[in-house]
A and B are shown apart, each in its own frame.
Chain A
Amino acid sequence: MQFGIFTVGDVATDPVSGRKPTEQERIKAMVEIALKAEEVGLDVFATGEHHNPPFVPSSPTTMLGYIAARTQRLIMSTSTTLITTNDPVKIAEDFAMLQHLADGRVDLMLGRGNTGPVYPWFGQDIRQGIPLAVENYALLHKLWHEDVVNFAGRFRTPLQEFTSTPRPLDGIPPFVWHGSIRSPEIAEQAAYYGDGFFANNIFWPKDHFQKLIGLYRTRYAHYGHGTAEQAIVGLGGQVFMRKNSQDAISEYRPYFDHSPVMGGGPSLEQYMEETPLSVGSPQEIIDKTLTFREYFGDYQRQLFNVDGGGLPLKTVLEQLDMLGEVVQVLREEFAKDRPADVPEAPTHASLLANRETQDA
């Protein structure tokens, strides 16, 4: 299994100190967090993509390129890359470039975006979100898998005899996960292509995701990519830890209460009942994370958000130290009773090895 962190790059005032980082401080903090993730033994670092304050990560591959240069093992990913408002040609180019720089330590997670105004900023209509996501990915897929592309669709000017450059590293495109919070169409899309499906369930209750992931698994099998149990599933959660559970809760509470997304509704305790948000001791985090498998089946990737809501960098780095230890336990525990025929998440290395076995 792969374990990692994802950031949405929010620039927020720390509700406890009253301090707000500058954009540069936040950007550099994200890099520090990524480097720390590798240091403590995590596998993946993913960045969101946003095009308005109070967020900074508008140019994900720029930042991931910088991190790639300063890491050895970490897999660079996104949570998520906008498949609706980005030109698929640009996505194809940017990520192929990143692959070459990072020796293949790259994959990406595609999403439609949750900020309405982004669509018109990039010349699109939010009401076309799903058709756009379907058509754009069809083009992206072609650009990576075919050297010469002819494509005509509804949302972009046509391409004739077009070659996206550079070609994917070793001719193997980055593995793609499709992210969805609500849309059954995206689960179907992931299944159709045999790609991964990422359920970033930090804001929604689990019953909702059981249906969505169930659809993806069933349809993955329907399209002949493997059994439903062999489909490639990723989950997103959120953690805050201290050695003592009560300390974690009291320290985190102001961050929760002031969170633009979480605060002002159900209490922290209620929120934790209903969603993957885990605030407590490392053991509690381990116990809760281990239950996800009961609801969603054996899965391939678990990402955690640890840096949102204005938490100071020092605190986030402490969280990562603890998360490193927690993940060591999770690796062992998740491996127990995991059926032998349930695959790991595809990586560049594993896809290359598969192809070489097939060619042989």
Chain B
Amino acid sequence: MTERYNSYRPDGEPTADRWTGALHLFDDSKDGAVVAVREETAIERWERAGLLFEEKQYSAAAKLLADLVDEHPQHTAARMLLARAYYHSAQLTRAEEQLRVVLERDPVDHYAHLMLGRTLQRQSRATQAAPWLRMADAFAEEG
């Protein structure tokens, strides 16, 4: 929890998620008795991860998303965002791992095919990448 209040952009400004998070700081206060610094719900962490991702804070987003995906393994959107966050922070093995899980659960996810192809390409595994990229094209045409 300590990271959430200590995240800053490169220019020294607090990240966007801190601005939105601040609005929830006193949500649980009753009768003026403050429940100091409440735990975030999963939804709040999901939203905050999205904000961090938009601001290109990919490693920070990945940390949040990794926990979310552990707690909610069925949440494909979170897993995809996690894969993309790993991809953009050059954690390619982890990106690949997450994408393969997505594809096991949803073998026709076009974007996951595309991403896995790209992830393999970036790891200089072009031969392995090729079938995934072909499938991505095939699904794209049908869509």
Contact = CB atoms under 8 A, between A and B. Distances in A.
A192 B30 CA distance: 12
B34 A184 contact: no
B22 interface: yes
A183 interface: yes
Most A CB contacts (10 A, CB to CB) among B8, B18, B34 go to B34
Contact of A185 (B1, B22, B29): B22
Given A128-B2, A182-B13, A192 B18 contact: no
Contact of A215 (B2, B19, B37): B19
Contacts of B36: 131, 134-135, 138, 153-154
Contacts of B19: 184, 211, 215
Interface residues of B, number: 21
Contact of A131 (B12, B21, B22, B37): B37
B34 A134 contact: yes
A192 B25 contact: yes
A150 to B, nearest CB: 10
B6 A189 contact: no
A183 B37 contact: no
B22 A187 contact: yes
B14 interface: yes
Interface in A145-184: 145, 153-154, 182-184
Given A129-B5, A131-B5, A208-B13, A138 B34 contact: yes
Contacts of A145: 32
Residue in A134, A142, A184 with the greatest tally of chain B CB atoms within 10 Å: A184
Given A135-B36, A153-B36, A215-B19, A188 B5 contact: no
A141 B36 CA distance: 13
Dominant SS among interface residues on chain A:
helix
Nearest to A136: B36
A182 B5 CA distance: 11
A336 interface: no
Contacts of B12: 182
B5 A219 contact: no
A28 to B, nearest CB: 37
Contacts of A184: 14, 18-19, 21-22
B13 to A, nearest CB: 7
A188 B14 contact: no
Interface residues of A, number: 25
Contacts of B5: 127, 129-131, 183, 185
Interface in B88-119: none
B23 interface: yes
B12 to A, nearest CB: 7
A192 B26 contact: yes
Interface string B31-69: 011101100000000000000000000000000000000
Contacts of B34: 134-135, 138, 141
Contacts of A153: 36
A183 B1 CA distance: 16
Interface centre among B8, B12, B33, B37 (most CB of A within 10 A): B37
A134 B13 contact: no
B22 A215 contact: yes
Contact of B25 (A128, A129, A182, A189): A189
A215 B25 CA distance: 13
Nearest to B5: A130
20 contacts: A127-B5, A130-B37, A134-B25, A134-B34, A134-B37, A135-B34, A135-B36, A138-B36, A142-B33, A153-B36, A154-B37, A182-B12, A182-B13, A183-B5, A183-B18, A183-B22, A184-B21, A189-B25, A211-B19, A219-B23
Given A188-B26, A192-B26, 16 more contacts: A130-B6, A131-B1, A131-B5, A134-B25, A134-B36, A135-B34, A141-B32, A154-B36, A182-B13, A183-B22, A184-B21, A184-B22, A185-B22, A189-B25, A189-B26, A211-B19
Interface of A: 127-131, 134-135, 138, 141-142, 145, 153-154, 182-185, 187-189, 192, 208, 211, 215, 219
